[in-house]
Structure 1
Amino acid sequence: MTKILVIGATGSVGRHVVASLAEGGHAVRALVRDASKTQLPKGVEAVQGDLTEPDSLEPALAGGVEAVYLMWPGLPVQPRVVELIARHARRVVYLSADVADLADDEPAVIFHQEVERLIRQSDLGWTFVRAIDFAGNLLAWADQVREGVVRWPYGRARRSLVHERDIADVVVRALTEDGHEGAAYVVTGPESLSHAELAGIIGEELGVAVRWEELPPQTAREQLTAAWGNAAFVEARLRAWESFTREPERVTGTVQEVLGRPPRDVRSWVRDHAADFRWAGAEATAVSSGRP
């Protein structure tokens, strides 16, 4: 039985990875910052550690760990982390991001390329799961949805947002099956939908009236920079959204090819997260989950 370490075990993807692995009978360790405050599925071993202190991973990796799921949440890149994983494990699945819509000098591009480079140069068998933006970022609209109007820029921008459970399912396959080594899977939703259409779908599934109100880009730039605190990230997002008004965000067949079933659509995601929309507002949502 493969022993698997999940780094990022409480994240939006990682928690589903942990649950699926445990249900599948695998020996699972979860790296957490505070084991005493973390609730995990029965049988999952919690081990305390932190990516900012690479040597703290040593106890989590020791004792027969063969595969590692790695999610790196935007922290400074630490080559020592990859070195330690390669010393103990033989396989790593890294949650990267599809950064095709960003400029080569964008921080997100540089970050993911650096982590992927470190992994490629190691002796590990690797799989990169490059996710398109998460559907979970729609929770940034929660407060506005409750008010009945979503004010956002580029209503015609067509997105292929992905359900986090589809990402997790692809990760689990790559962790537990042969045949995925050296693959860089771009995981998307099943179709491109405009921002305005997405707002309408949320309202329909929640049973509330939601209308779209176009927000001028300059106003959005000011508001999002104040809310997110990262002007470079805001500029990158605005450029990407503008580009999606001309060419829709791409849709891949990865989920069908890897899992043998279609990807979950946005409506199913909204139903799964209906309770979140009733309490989670923009201030509680990190609009970077698809691009760690």
Structure 2
Amino acid sequence: MFLVTGATGNVGRPLVAELAAAGAKVRALTRDPAAARFPEGVEGARTGDPAATDGVEALFLNAAVVWDGGAGPLLRQARESGVRRVVALSSSSVTGTLDLPADNPISRHHHELEAEVEASGMEWTHLRADAFAVNTRGWAPQIREDGVVRDAYGWSRSVPVHEDDVAAVAARALLTGGLAGQAPVLTGPEALTKAEQVRLIGEALGRPVRFVEIPAAEARAGMTSGGVPGEVADTLLALAARCVDHAPEVSPDIERITGRPARTYARWARDHAADFR
């Protein structure tokens, strides 16, 4: 039995589908199992269920959705239930290659997650995902309104990763244990500017979409009014500024692990075109 936390999330849902397609027994943890519409044969369970780890061999841990108190309570319960393997969704920010202050909230959060997982005594794998392509879905309201994306640092580059590729790597780590003790960095296959990403969304939609650069202070105000904590907004803007002149590296790990190239951002935009219409 495999337990997937955040089972209706961007990575959790395709991971549940991958595991089910492989014939694995899957327990999918979510706030509302009845409304989740999981594949046939998948067992839904409610987040916080004290029996969720019973009979589980391996756990996919998404720290964004674990129970109150961080990952610790769930990890302790998993260990006591006999879970042998934990695959944690972490962040490439922990590698220190982004040239940001070491105590920034994104790196700090994922460092703490990795430390908790390693201290659990279970076999572990950390999936250090880079920028998720799905994060650009935040541009959708602007694109639907007038076909113009207004954001800071239009020439900032990232290597956006398709969530389905992260799920594919997670499935291999859970099913085989072949990535035990490893921390692959998961990126897309190419570095793209924000302006290039916007253009590719337009191509997927079959109509022009433009990028208009705005001051960082204006972008920050929009982020915080939308619920992003100020410290996180500052970190994301500092990273964007840094990546105007320093392109992040493309990692070969997705192709190494799955045996096929990572999906492109253009592919992601086609897969998600309906989100922008």
TM-score normalised by structure 2 residue count: 0.93
Tell me if the contact between 1:77 and 1:111 (Cα under 8 Å) persists in the aligned partners. no
Query: How far apart are the structure 2 equivalents of 1:73 and 1:158?
Result: 25
Matched residue, 2:64:
73
- Residue deviations 1:12-42 (CA, integer Å, cap 9, x gap): 1000010110111001111122232221110
Matched residue, 1:53:
none
Q: CA deviation at 1:148?
A: 1.9
Q: Which amino acid aligns with 1:98?
A: S
Query: Are 1:59 and 2:51 counterparts?
Result: yes
- Partner of 1:83, secondary structure, is helix
Query: How far apart are the structure 2 equivalents of 1:76 and 1:105?
Result: 20
Matched residue, 2:34:
36
Runs of 4+ in 1 over 3 A off after TM superposition: none
Aligned-pair Cα RMSD in Å: 1.4
Q: Which amino acid aligns with 1:193?
A: L
Q: CA deviation at 1:134?
A: 0.7
- Partner of 1:104, secondary structure, is coil
- Partner of 2:195, secondary structure, is helix
Q: CA deviation at 1:228?
A: 2.9
Query: Are 1:94 and 2:88 counterparts?
Result: yes
Which deviates the most, 201-210 or 73-82? 73-82
Q: CA deviation at 1:177?
A: 1.1
- Partner of 1:59, secondary structure, is coil
Which deviates the most, 226-235 or 189-198? 226-235
Query: Are 1:149 and 2:141 counterparts?
Result: no
Matched residue, 1:217:
216
- Residue deviations 1:83-106 (CA, integer Å, cap 9, x gap): 111222100100111114342212
Matched residue, 1:269:
268
Matched residue, 1:259:
258
Size of the aligned set, in residue pairs, is: 269
Query: How far apart are the structure 1 equivalents of 2:118 and 2:45?
Result: 26
TM-score normalised by structure 1 residue count: 0.88
- Residue deviations 1:220-261 (CA, integer Å, cap 9, x gap): 122222223411111001100000001012210011110111
1:184-203 correspondence to structure 2 within 5 Å: 184-203=183-202
Tell me if the contact between 1:255 and 1:262 (Cα under 8 Å) persists in the aligned partners. yes
Query: How far apart are the structure 2 equivalents of 1:28 and 1:229?
Result: 33
Matched residue, 1:131:
129
Matched residue, 1:179:
178
Query: How far apart are the structure 2 equivalents of 1:108 and 1:230?
Result: 11
Tell me if the contact between 2:172 and 2:178 (Cα under 8 Å) persists in the aligned partners. no
Q: Which amino acid aligns with 1:274?
A: A
CA 1:232–1:76 in 2, change beyond 3 Å: closer, same or farther? Answer: farther
Which deviates the most, 125-134 or 74-83? 74-83
Q: Which amino acid aligns with 1:265?
A: T
